[in-house]
Amino acid sequence: MPDEKPVLRTLLTRRERGIHEFFFSDPERADWETWHRIAHPKSRRGFLTGLSAMTGALGVHIAFSELMPRGLIPAVYANASEPFEIEGKDGLVLLNDRPLNAETMPHLLNDNVTPTNRLFIRNNGLPPAETNPSSWTLTIGGESVGATRRYTLPELKQKFEHVSRQITLECGGNGRAEFDPPVSGNQWTLGAVGCPVWDGMRLRDLLLDIGKRDNAVFLAYHAKDRHASGDPTREPISRGVHISKAMDPDSMLVWGMNGADMHPMNGHPLRLVFGGQPGSTSGKWLTGLALRDRLHDGPKMAPPAYHVPCEPVAPGSQVAYEDMCMLDSMPVKSLITSPASGMQHESKQRLPIHGHAWAGAQGVNSVQLSIDYGTTWLDTELQPPVNRFAWQHFDYSVSFPKSGYYEVWARAIDSDGDSQPMLVPGWNPKGYGNNACHRIAVYAV
Ligand SMILES: Nc1nc2c(c(=O)[nH]1)N[C@H]1C(S)=C(S)[C@@H](COP(=O)(O)O)O[C@H]1N2
Ligand SMILES: [Mo]
């Protein structure tokens, strides 16, 4: 039962496209893979459809089945895969090995402070071969500074005030795997997010020190990673933020994580971290900053990268680049990190649920849970953030009325009153900003 699902998971995560393509382009095969190879590996029965068949395949009664939306892919099959090994990381799921992209299963993100070995990896190119902190330099130029300046990393550490902050980092494409019709790109499910403590300094202090001119509108980054093609003249990615975000006192230049060095794949020895923005703004392996008097024009700045349709479009639409707007703040979102999806639970006892919630530039006001497919909602206990842009933690002990298959759904509501949608929100060509409710499966026995 719960531990016989890796076949489908492997199929899904090694694919270029998401779970919906699998289920809708070839529903019969999807059914077969789901209900035979995984749920009943030795069974030779015909194709299964409908709820009673699903109940049979899961081997337990689906509680509240009358409330379960038709065509819903059970949470127990929706998000997981096998871990792989990378030195200094623990249990991450590989999405791509060149460039390296790997995400973290929700139940491995249960710590309130994400350990270094559990932070996801999102590389657009090949990491630098040489990353010696004592000889690392940062050059700051651009149209909006008087003279180009250069600091070594030891000079930065020595000259500026040190700060440590917990800041949530989430890839703009987190959740992409759930868009329907599927979109290309890394098929992130839920785990391209984390919230470690970042050790470094305020970016603002540096920008004031070098004499930022008033006409600066954008701060761009340059980095030492190499383009996947091997062409040394091409940068894999060079993005940044608007000047107001660069000057925010919580925007950071970072040289460490959780009191030690950053992992080599997370930008060691120097990176940027901008809370509430798509992760792509937080340049890793940072070697250069440019204060621009115009919008930056580096690789992955132009649409369709990190852009969504300015006006909502029908799923699957072709959207002209001039009709796309840059992704800005990340939406409100939450993650159930304990228990792991698919676990068995003694139904006579209450089940403690723990998780995190975050909301781009906003705070999170409340997090609610549902065990009946969104029909009723329960308020959880929610902690305030340790500092601005840190995720918040929620707790609640759920009781189940009878044994069976359940889904626990979580929905966060931000300080603007915006809540997470239960279904995948506005389709867009590159699959950004999916903040649909997280669902976990629980077998109450
Ligand atoms: N130099 C450089 N910076 C980068 C990237 C990259 O490929 N190269 N990826 C970006 C993207 S898209 C994201 S989501 C975050 C991921 O940070 P992480 O790998 O430390 O989790 O880094 C950003 N900064
Ligand atoms: Mo990203």
**pLDDT over threshold 60, residue 6:** no
Contact 111, 105 (CB under 8 A): no
What's the average model confidence in pLDDT over 345-373?
A: 96
| pLDDT, tens only, 31-56 | 545 444 334 433 333 334 455 566 66
Which tokens hold the place of 193? Answer: 């997010």
What's the average model confidence in pLDDT over 343-358?
A: 96
pTM of the predicted model as reported, rounded to 2 decimal places: 0.88
Kindly report the backbone phi and psi dihedral angles of residue 411, in degrees, each rounded to the nearest multiple of 5, phi listed first. -140, 125
Point out the least confidently predicted range of 9-18, 130-139, 171-180.
Answer: 9-18
Nearest Cα neighbor of 199 from 170, 221, 223, 167 is 167
**pLDDT over threshold 50, residue 79:** no
Which tokens hold the place of 64? Answer: 């509240």
Instruction: Report every protein residue that has its C-beta within 5 angstroms of ion ligand 2.
Output: 122, 171, 279-280
Return the ∠ at Cα 83 (arms to 78 and 85), rounded to 5°.
160
> Which pLDDT value is given to residue 57?
62
Q: Whose CA is nearest to atom 20 of ligand 1?
A: 266
Percent of the chain with pLDDT over 70: 84
Contact 309, 323 (CB under 8 A): yes
With the most atoms of ligand 1 within 8 angstroms of its CB, the residue from 168, 238, 280 to mutate is 280
Nearest-atom index, ligand 1, CA of 279: 14
Cα-to-chain-centroid distance, residue 248: 23
With the most atoms of ligand 1 within 8 angstroms of its CB, the residue from 114, 117, 123 to mutate is 123
Contact 269, 257 (CB under 8 A): no
| pLDDT, tens only, 147-183 | 999 999 999 999 999 999 999 999 999 999 999 999 9
Q: Whose CA is nearest to atom 12 of ligand 1?
A: 280
Q: Which residue has better confidence, 81 or 297?
A: 297
> Which pLDDT value is given to residue 345?
95
What's the average model confidence in pLDDT over 114-127?
A: 97
Q: How far apart are CA 189 and CA 222, in angstroms?
A: 28
Does the beta carbon of 281 lie inside 6 Å of ligand 1?
Answer: no
Q: How far apart are CA 407 and CA 358, in angstroms?
A: 22
Domains of the chain listed by start with CATH number: 6-78 (no CATH), 122-326 (3.90.420.10), 333-444 (2.60.40.650)
Q: How far apart are CA 2 and CA 226, in angstroms?
A: 42
Q: Which residue has better confidence, 268 or 58?
A: 268
Task: Check the CA dihedral 322-283-188-168 and report its sign.
Answer: negative
Residue with tokens 């006192």: 249
Q: Which residue has better confidence, 64 or 155?
A: 155
With the most atoms of ligand 1 within 8 angstroms of its CB, the residue from 171, 241, 273 to mutate is 171
Contact 70, 373 (CB under 8 A): no
Q: Give residue 84 CA to ligand 2 midpoint distance, Å.
A: 20
**pLDDT over threshold 60, residue 294:** yes
> Which pLDDT value is given to residue 21?
57
